[in-house]
Structure 1
Amino acid sequence: MKNVKNIALAATTLAAISCNAFAADYSDDIHKNDYQWSQFNLMYAVGEKPSAKDNLKHDYLEMEFGGRSGVVDLYGYVDVFNLTNKNSSGSDKNDGASKMFMKLAPRFSLDAITGQDLSFGPVQEVYVATLFNWGGGAIGSDVNNAFFGLGSDVMVPWLGKVGMNLYGLYDVNAKDWNGYQFSMNWFKPFVNFDNGSFISYQGYIDYQFGADTDANHVSSGGVMFNGIYWHSERYSVGYGVKAYNDVYTLEDGVAFGGLESSGFAHYLAASYKF
């Protein structure tokens, strides 16, 4: 990363990625790296999976936020679907589908908790990592998953500092542990303009494995999101493509009467940063 100002702007869009390229040092003050950010993203998705039909579309508003306070590194968002027409026949969120979805991912720095430098090799900081996915539908019938494990910030060639987490998945509805998930996210400015704006490559991977199998589920599956975004201090616009492979371990073309759980989806985004 060549420009300090651009690094600071980049950090406001993904809480798990820090603009500091060195190992964390909390020996004198655990709050010295504190920051916070939030933004509203107006999104449009085409072909999102899993779905009973191909190329369905929906709009949604995403309220995204994150930051750092002492030992806690936080990322999260709340999605509100179908802002313009809840019952559109062309939407995969119609006919009683959940109107909202929320993700909350707090990580707790073991470096800050212990006051020790736990970095080694490319690993810059170590965390107790948690993740919570909650759907907005009826309790017991919509998504209600909790993940617990270890996380880290890792220096990766060209990408820079990348968040990596390995979790065990606890299905709160079923009250049962069900496999594992590896998650990775990144944010890389790669074109910088004289006015301080920049273009970034950003995305994430969520890969589940070791899950229970049955008539609808296979043992592994996941997604990879790749986005190209233009950022200024207050605004961003971008396009992303998400690749699915048996997402949520649902077997493609088989699960629940033939849901599509593999393929590609396209996303358009326009954001305002607070």
Structure 2
Amino acid sequence: MKRSLTTAALAAGFILSSQAMASPMFWQNNSLTYLYGKNFAVDSGQDGREAAIQQTITFEHASGWTWGDMFLFVDHKWFNGHSGKDGRTYYGEFSPRLSLSKISGADLSFGPVKDVLVSATYERGEGRNRNYLLGPAVDLAVPGFDRLAINTYYREPDGITGKPGGQWQITPTWAITIPVGKSDILLDGYIDWVVNDAGSKSKGDYLAKNFHFNPQVKYDLGKALDYTPGKLYVGIEYDYWTNKYGVEDSSAFNTDNNVTNFIVKAHF
């Protein structure tokens, strides 16, 4: 299964890359985000009970194509109180989605479902943190939402990690705009819910089920200052993660993240 999933994800990536070169882009959005928070678990090498300050610069890209859409981000993180390489880390994801309605030319909408897709993700962090995800997805039309999608994945680590796979993940994403005075508040975010454990505790190759809730509440400061709407936001991001990275929480090492970040986000 691991080899099949890895091959399928790579094949999907090659197909989408060749399609992207041959077909026009309908739209794109790029952004840079700065986040500031503390008491993060795991990443800084501390257990989350100490006041480890984490700062993050994130680049994001989203685009729509004749074959579907694509999203990627790269985080560069560093921690106060550390120096050199040990005080910095990175993490990124690349997520193309293949629209079955666009590829087939058929109308696949029904009820609240606007489209049916095949979604793939490649996760890459420092060291041996690499995972392939592949599965079905739906885009939904729900009153009040600018965007609402549900991606379902079967996830496998890269073969070089030596870790087990066999985990299912459900990932809803959303965006809601609420007018406030002369500007707007944007509520957006995602949930990554890995619903089952994988591997064997006795053999030390165990990945715990985990739940990551990551919403942002942002005020359109650019619009409030009479500049172009949707270009400059300020606000907060809430980061709640149980068994972060699949590492089971214990009394010896806390892996439950519960952090509020200050955020500034600029789109270009």
Structure 1 CA distance for aligned equivalents of residues 199 and 117 of structure 2: 30
Aligned residues of 1:48 and 1:266 also touching (Cα < 8 A): no
Structure 2 CA distance for aligned equivalents of residues 99 and 176 of structure 1: 24
Identify the match of residue 122 of structure 1 among 112, 117, 120: 112
Structure 2 CA distance for aligned equivalents of residues 177 and 124 of structure 1: 31
Q: Select the structure with the greater relative contact order (CA < 8 A; seq sep ≥ 6).
A: 1
Structure 2 CA distance for aligned equivalents of residues 131 and 251 of structure 1: 23
Q: Does 1:52 align with 2:44?
A: no
Q: Does 1:40 align with 2:26?
A: no
Identify the match of residue 203 of structure 1 among 189, 192, 198: 189
1:20 aligned residue: none
Structure 2 CA distance for aligned equivalents of residues 221 and 101 of structure 1: 18
Structure 2 CA distance for aligned equivalents of residues 265 and 145 of structure 1: 25
SS at match of 1:156: coil
Q: Does 1:174 align with 2:169?
A: no
Q: In the TM superposition, what is the alpha-carbon distance from 1:209 to its structure 2 partner?
A: 1.7
Q: In the TM superposition, what is the alpha-carbon distance from 1:45 to its structure 2 partner?
A: 2.6
Q: In the TM superposition, what is the alpha-carbon distance from 1:250 to its structure 2 partner?
A: 2.1
SS at match of 2:197: coil
- Segments of structure 2 that go 5 or more residues without pairing to the other structure are 1-22, 223-228
Aligned residues of 1:243 and 1:264 also touching (Cα < 8 A): yes
Q: In the TM superposition, what is the alpha-carbon distance from 1:210 to its structure 2 partner?
A: 2.4
1:272 aligned residue: 266
Q: Deviations over 1:24-79 (max 9, x none)?
A: xxxxxx96x81001011111132233352424211121111111011131111111
Aligned amino acid, residue 193 of structure 2: Y
Structure 2-normalised TM-score?
0.76
Structure 1 CA distance for aligned equivalents of residues 132 and 52 of structure 2: 28
Identify the match of residue 234 of structure 2 among 232, 237, 262: 237
Aligned length: 229
Q: What CA RMSD, in Å, does the superposition of the two structures yield over aligned residues?
A: 2.5
Q: Deviations over 1:149-176 (max 9, x none)?
A: 0111113354353111000001002375
Q: In the TM superposition, what is the alpha-carbon distance from 1:104 to its structure 2 partner?
A: 1.0
Q: Where do 1:1-274 residues align within 5 Å?
A: 34-50=26-42, 51-54=46-49, 55-82=51-78, 88-89=80-81, 96=86, 99-135=89-125, 137-138=126-127, 141=128, 143-159=129-145, 161-172=147-158, 173-174=161-162, 176-194=164-182, 197-215=183-201, 217=206, 219-231=208-220, 232=222, 233=229, 234-253=231-250, 258-274=252-268
